[in-house]
Structure 1
């Protein structure tokens, strides 16, 4: 045991906002090996305990932290790669190059230790897990070395990781834990309790036989280079929880050797836990019902009563334990870790739409952890087209942690750019997917700014957007030349769906037009006036040329005998290329009858129907497309493919946008939700309730209607102006009251209510500007 007086430790320079690193990266003497689990211990004496103690910590690749025997951090640190350490160089198959060819910086995080330390002796214990691998679809850049770093300011004195810490490889964890394939970086866990270090996290553990930790260098040392603060909040630890059901129903029970299938409330990212009593040498396997899930846990028992939790997370609807016959099972639990808390809600009088919104939110959460990912089982890859789909609805379903994770996806994507191209699978792989790169501009970057008001991130991102759009060459016909990508690793892909129906020559220019318009708004916001004329020239050129080339009288197509594509035509509406007088023809001839797209585009087709003034058609299409998934017993997330193919939890499934933004009608109209609108278009629904977790605070809207009355209850947060619309289609209003006072009667404003003012009307809504507070709008009239 090492006893150290903190007065002997180095002192942090006063008044510096950045971390002045004095700590060493530490590990065992060897740099790895891959899939290594290393334990660290440090015992210190504290004469006084500061009121506030913040530690700066990082690990390559993950860590778990205990203080005085109590767990403080469950799964700290995140996948490497916030930014390159030096200009990124394009090389063939960059993902399998050695670390020295792709030097990247590393994230660190702040951890509040307040309340965990005490006067006198304190023991800090850490378990660090080094992945030591990359994948061609991964979002983690391998450094080539395992490492852990810790630095805490204890009232002006520093506690740092260095050679005074003790280290020992935890041999209970097998280095070879079974093949997980080439697509994800995490490994299985194979744990032999007969080899474990017993109570090594406890204060009284005897660690004199452990070796001093090996110092690997002070930041910004290679291969971790600069340490950048992770601004995404730590994962929320929901604690060990009981399954909602298991075959034995009660504990304890003796296993009969059959599979024990334990049901989760919904598809979650979990770490499984067990408590058993048995003899040594019993082999237990743990997995899930998800056929794509490759992560497994393998546990070999010791003698007596014991517990085990596998720290490599998996997901599914059921956790399956294979426990040998005769083993006494004392408890089976799981731990759910999530990016923030589930936020927002949607309710209505049609159970189908209420359930699909819930399933969509579950899908979003199971596809978010270190990064947004396409799916949590097969790849865990940050495809930026999938992120753009997630961005369409995360603002209705996630709290600030979700917004910060999107910020991370945007900044990291842009940081790993080269020759104007930003990675479509970042940060690890500089692969261009032209359609996804264009989609990312409007549906991800601009929507992030509109929903958060984060101008710093917009300013950081804008030069990359401008440079990328400038790579596109314009043809003599006034449209952009078709782009297949700039490298051997590029992928000319827009969507799955029904084979032979994709009208790519229309899709790509429509996405480019959409990106141009959003980039122009970015330039206006940031005062980049020098770029406005360039955007206007291309926007004008495309507006004049697009119809001449693709409009076929009832829809858009590059070959009308072959293509009547719902994807291509929905984009003409969403981009603004299709004028309003064409919307109905496009909807009736293509968007309503043709079901060609995958879920990646489905929400955009439904959005185009809403923008065409056909919310009932959008809801019908949603029900037609998703009814097989929504009605399937035991399902809580949405599939990759229609009707139910691929993974059963894929990021690009996002019908929530349609219900929240268009049916309830809640959407920001100025950045950061300083102004937003509520313009409902209820179609056949009669009751709706929506909670939106905006950056300004929760917005709660509840709407009820009958044949002759309409009522909206609104709770609007501080710092906002709400534009509230009373729909003319729901009831032909004769009288409108606000908080019981008559404000409008038979076409005219007749009264006044402090905080509410008229905002005119259009063919769909009578509108009012509304200050923060609690409001009830009621309209009386006759059904039209």
Structure 2
């Protein structure tokens, strides 16, 4: 019928609790590690997709109030205590840098009892490299709990066994970018030793000690800085959402999500194969083989959940007609954050866009920001620049930790020569994409992270590493930079890319970020050097490349590059007197991919043509926004061959418009680092009403706007710990505003130039258009 596929893991009636914690991504040896890395002997020919069960019986005299277990693995683990599931898919894919390994910290005290306790860990060793995981070459577990009156350490006293019920699914195997394998689970081989071990005597052999903490191949241990996954619980798919087509049950999910499939059988003969996959696997795979699951039945009633997550809009269950299902379901998991941001306006297109952008963003967040959750799961750093900004507007502050992890890893993988590359963590693909790297260390990367978070430690860490990379670039005598080809001279998907323009502009934005950071850190000499480089580059860029009303490099022969003109505007290289000519470029040239369109929209807002920006937004994104099948946005302008790079249907770089809606239509952007002050400068031409909530680290910023005839009415909540810098487009009269604060009319305002400073409180503002 279709591609061959299959399923996952038997479920007991287990309560699932996910323990939220946030740490810092640096080596942590405040407490001496006493545990040993343990494993078992594995045949040399059998080291990919290996499952191992570890068990330890522990007698507890007094249960401590807190018992922090430090747990490190290669690659993932499921932790059970006394038969209860404590951690579902613990562990972060390996690679804070090219050498070291992450560890989790979990408080297991709530699961302990006085007397005999059974600690059990099911470990999944990927056994292969990928674009998002650096394989150590060895399966291993480290469990270190040192608490008052209680010590539990992994060593040779732990028992271990191979979980033989897990195998490799039949071909096609997942493509080389994915370290995960498609799992086959054979329920006929399940015994008490192979799953959720409840008795020490049931394990077949003692573990072997393979290393001390800090030794190779895992090296230094770095505390996980992102929370454990959020578990939405197991949900049954309603019968009305299941359609049978021959041997295939097509089960509709509420939206594209990260999930593990669940099946419960009333009865089945032994030895039947059931395939579990998604519509992505069968139809929208990004032009490569992706994850699925297979399940071999035992006789009778049974229930199973496959631990390898997949994603899609539909779950496909392929099974013979003599298998009777009790229910088909799923467990959604994902990054532990809240959908805290809000946006709604009178234009339904932008409401749909915002909803799809947020959904697309969330499905591309887990161990790291991903380009797509199906074909690659890779941290392409240019994608992360956009994803990070989207998360600041759409999600609660717990999402900031993923942005921090992205930057720490990017610089953690910096080569000795100073070059940076992506995706990381990976040793099988590490090409330098100069444009994406410059975007990362630049205004929209490191500096934007600092603006939204106020994390000064990050800019102190990033500044010298960014400078080391910038110093690799060579300057021409006139102040322009020479094109650095790196290892992939990409620039963007699509045609008509003027790489010389793009790289000079991205470099300027990186200098702009470094200059701003130098000011923050008090590096006065660096400020002067960076300012001089910026001035020379800007002058040369306009002198050399601006001809006949457009920017164009001398060697470039394609059509005028709209992306480059966008970067010229947002960087500040293009002065306002050039805006009229650049506007013509945006009207006639449409070459940017969804990745770069965000910068075009931003440029048009900066140029004071928001209605035309909105019009272009609709024109470019109409096909994917108005597609009723997909809840997510595509990699390219279409699907499959109509897209770019394989045409995935969930690519967060396409959601950059979400940031535009908050930052430029609503006009809310941080002005000082950490939202000590923020901008409120709405542009609602053609928009009758708008509501937005920005979940800043200073508190929720809430803005409601009504735009009727010539009157603009705003209600703005400013958190008490910050200030707003309020302004309106030039067609509004800023000298005759009607302003109330907390219900009290005010006549005197604090002004700085054309902006009014608004202290914390609830503000009501009315403005009229000028005559």
Tell whether the structures are fold-level matches, with TM greater than 0.5: yes
Which of 742, 750, 753 does residue 758 from structure 1 map onto?
750
Partner of 2:423: 425
Aligned partners of 1:257 and 1:326 also within 8 Å: no
Q: How does 1:25-36 map to 2 (within 5 A)?
A: 25-30=37-42, 33-36=47-50
Alignment of 1:3-82 (within 5 A): 18-30=30-42, 33-82=47-96
Q: Work out the CA distance in 1 between the residues paired with 2:575 and 2:626.
A: 38
Aligned pair partner of 2:506 in 491, 504, 511: 511
C-alpha distance after superposition, 1:648-701 (max 9, x if no partner):
111311211111100000100010111111111112111111111212232222
Backbone CA RMSD of aligned residues: 2.2
The CA deviation at 1:633 is 1.5
Shift of 1:456: 0.8
Superposition deviation, residue 561 in structure 1: 6.8
Residues 273-295 of structure 1: CA deviation (Å, up to 9, x unaligned):
11112221121001000121610
Pairing 1:724–2:726 present: yes
Who is 1:776 aligned against? 763
Q: Secondary structure at the match of 1:625?
A: helix
Q: In the alignment, what sits opposite 2:464?
A: 463
Match of 2:367 in 1: 370
Shift of the alpha carbon at 1:569? 0.8
CA contact (8 A) 1:482 1:508 kept: yes
The Cα of 1:783 is off from its aligned counterpart by 8.0
Q: Tell me the CA shift for residue 224 of structure 1.
A: 0.4
TM-score of the two chains, using structure 2 as the length reference: 0.89
1:296 equivalent in alignment to 2:286: no
Tell me the equivalent position of 1:252: none
For 1:181, the equivalent position in structure 2 comes to 175
Shift of 1:639: 0.7
Q: Among residues 235, 251, 274, which one is paired with 2:229 in the alignment?
A: 235
Q: 1:708: Cα distance to partner?
A: 5.0
Instruction: Report the Cα distance in structure 2 between the residues aligned to 1:533 and 1:781, rounded to whole angstroms.
Output: 43
CA distance in structure 1 between the partners assigned to 2:620 and 2:163 by the alignment? 50
- SS of aligned partner of 2:512: helix
- List aligned pairs for 1:298-337, cutoff 5 A: 298-337=294-333
Q: State how 1:256-655 maps to structure 2 within 5 Å.
A: 257-277=246-266, 278-290=268-280, 291-292=284-285, 294-341=290-337, 342-418=339-415, 419-428=417-426, 429-442=429-442, 443-485=444-486, 490-497=487-494, 499=495, 501-558=496-553, 562-587=558-583, 589-644=584-639, 645=643, 646-653=647-654, 654-655=656-657
Q: Is the 8 A contact 2:237 2:327 kept in 1?
A: no
Q: Aligned residue for 2:17?
A: none
1:620-647 alpha-carbon deviations (Å, 9 max, x no partner): 1111111111111221111111144200
Deviation at 1:246, TM superposition (A): 4.9
Q: Do the aligned residues in 1 keep the contact of 2:192 with 2:202 (CA within 8 Å)?
A: no
Q: Secondary structure at the match of 2:588?
A: coil
Q: Is the 8 A contact 1:707 1:783 kept in 2?
A: no
| Contact persistence 1:122–1:203 (CA under 8 A) | no
Q: Does 1:108 align with 2:103?
A: yes
Structure 1 residues 61 and 671, CA gap change in structure 2 (3 angstroms): same
Alpha-carbon separation, structure 2, partners of 1:514 and 1:216? 48
Shift of 1:743: 4.4
| Aligned equivalent of 1:688 | 690
Paired residues of 2:163 and 2:194 also in contact (CA < 8 A): no
Normalising by structure 1, we get a TM-score of 0.88
Alignment check: 8 A CA contact 2:264 2:328 kept: yes
Counterparts of 1:162 and 1:504 in 2: how far apart (Å)? Answer: 56
Partner Cα distance (1:445, 1:529) in 2:
20
Query: Residues 52 and 114 of structure 1 are in contact (CA less than 8 Å); yes or no, is this contact kept in structure 2?
Result: yes
C-alpha deviation, 1:115, in angstroms: 1.6
Aligned to 2:6: none
Match of 1:83 among 97, 100, 104: 97
**Does the Cα contact within 8 Å between 1:81 and 1:107 map onto a contact in 2?**
yes
Distance (whole Å) between structure 2 residues aligned to residue 182 and residue 425 of structure 1: 14
Q: Does the 8 A contact of 1:417 with 1:430 survive in 2?
A: no
1:782/1:401 CA distance change after superposition, 3 Å: closer
Deviations 1:504-523 (A, max 9, x none): 12111111111111111111
Residues 778 and 577 of structure 1: is their aligned pair in 2 closer, same or farther, counting only changes over 3 Å?
closer
Contact 1:256 / 1:325 at 8 angstroms: preserved in 2? no
Q: Aligned pair in 2 of structure 1 residues 408, 729: CA closer, same or farther (>3 Å)?
A: same
Residues 568 and 542 of structure 1: CA distance in aligned 2, closer, same or farther (over 3 Å): same
Identify if the C-alpha distance between structure 1 residues 540 and 400 changes in structure 2 by more than 3 Å, giving closer, same or farther: same
List structure 1 segments (4+ residues) > 4 angstroms apart after TM superposition.
198-206, 244-249, 726-735, 739-744, 780-784
8 A contact 2:69–2:105 mirrored in 1: yes
3-state SS of the aligned residue for 1:698? strand
| Aligned equivalent of 1:667 | 669
1:172 aligns with 2:165: yes
Q: Using the TM superposition, give the Cα deviation of residue 409 of structure 1 relative to its aligned residue in structure 2, in angstroms.
A: 1.1
Deviation (angstroms), 1:393: 1.8
SS in 1 for 2:652: coil
C-alpha displacement of 1:718:
3.9
Flag structure 2 segments of 5+ consecutive residues without an equivalent: 1-27
Distance 1:192-1:168 versus aligned 2 partners, 3 A rule: same
Note if contact 1:434-1:483 (Cα within 8 Å) is conserved in structure 2. Answer: yes
Question: Does structure 2 retain, via aligned residues, the 8 Å contact 1:244–1:264?
Answer: no
1:118 aligned counterpart, secondary structure:
coil
Change (3 A) 1:692 1:781: closer
Cα offsets for 1:599-637 (capped at 9, x unmatched):
110111111101111111111111111111111122111
Quick one: structure 1 residues 349 and 242, their matched pair in 2 at CA, closer, same or farther if it must change by over 3 Å? farther
The 1:362/1:533 distance shift into structure 2, 3 A limit, reads same
Q: Please name the residue that 2:717 is paired with.
A: 715
Tell me the alpha carbon deviations over residues 173-204 of structure 1, each in whole angstroms, 9 at most, x when there is no partner. Answer: 01465411212111001000000134866675
Assess if the C-alpha contact under 8 Å between 2:493 and 2:592 holds in 1. Answer: yes
- Name the residue aligned to 1:151: 144
C-alpha distance in structure 1 between counterparts of 2:759 and 2:191, whole Å: 61
**CA-CA distance at 1:256 after TM superposition:** 8.1
Deviation readout 1:117-162 (Å, 9 max, x if unpaired): 1122211111100001013xx1211111001111123424311111
Counterparts of 1:156 and 1:433 in 2: how far apart (Å)? 52
Count of residue correspondences: 721
Give 1:704 shift.
Answer: 2.0
Q: Report if aligned partners of 1:243, 1:265 keep a CA contact under 8 Å in 2.
A: no
SS at match of 1:115: helix
For structure 1, the residue ranges without an aligned partner over 5 or more in a row are 1-15, 85-103, 250-254, 745-749, 752-756
Q: Which has the higher contact order (CA 8 A, sep 6+)?
A: 2
How far apart, in 2, do the equivalents of 1:348 and 1:332 lie? 38
Between 1:53-62 and 1:540-549, the stretch displaced more is 540-549
Looking at structure 1, the residues matched to 532 and 662 of structure 2 have their Cα atoms a distance apart, in angstroms, of 35
What secondary structure, in the 3-state scheme, does the structure 2 residue paired with 1:578 have?
Answer: coil
Distance 2:658 2:361 in 1: 10
Change (3 A) 1:257 1:169: farther
1:703-735 Cα distance to aligned partner (Å, 9 max, x none): 223225433223333421122335564788855
In structure 1, the partner of 2:13 is: none
Residues of 2 paired with 1:542 and 1:474: CA distance? Answer: 9
Deviation at 1:423, TM superposition (A): 1.6
Question: Aligned to 1:262, what secondary structure does the other structure show?
Answer: strand
* Contact persistence 2:731–2:769 (CA under 8 A): no
